[in-house]
Amino acid sequence: MPRYKELGYHPEAIYGETPMGRRGDIIRDFQEKPKCRVLFCHPESVGYGVTLTAANYAIYYTLPYFDGEQFYQSQKRIARIGQSKTMFYYYLLARKSIDRVIWKALKEKKTAEDLMVDGPRGLLFPE
């Protein structure tokens, strides 16, 4: 995060070891303080019901393993009532990677159970 600090973004992060009491403060700072422009977090670390309308970009460096509910909930955190900005979602997907398979499964609303029962049906290494 030092790189972002040098650019004046005052980044914050929420991850598994972030104390529960501190998480609310970080989210409030991100929502209310213009200097806090970057928030690094994993959807499972943030929890449900969090509003991040101060954001208009979400960058996914990995995807949840066929957990559509978690994935769409993470997108809806910035797409809430009160959002006035255009929203952008970026997915960092390498060619022929498992994330490509997961991305296609999420788009088709498949679950891990569907894939075990029905097989991949064209999900393996889509372009």
Residue type, 100: R
The superfamily in CATH containing domain 2-118 is P-loop containing nucleotide triphosphate hydrolases (3.40.50.300)
One-letter identity of residue 99: D
Closest CA to 13 of 43, 38, 44, 34: 38
pTM comes to 0.73
Confirm if 117 and 84 have CB atoms less than 8 A apart.
no
The 10s digit of each residue's pLDDT in 51-77 is 899 998 998 888 776 577 778 888 888
Secondary structure (3-state) at 91: strand
pLDDT, one tens digit per residue, over 5-16 is 888 888 999 988
At residue 126 the predicted structure's pLDDT band, cuts being 50, 70 and 90, is very low
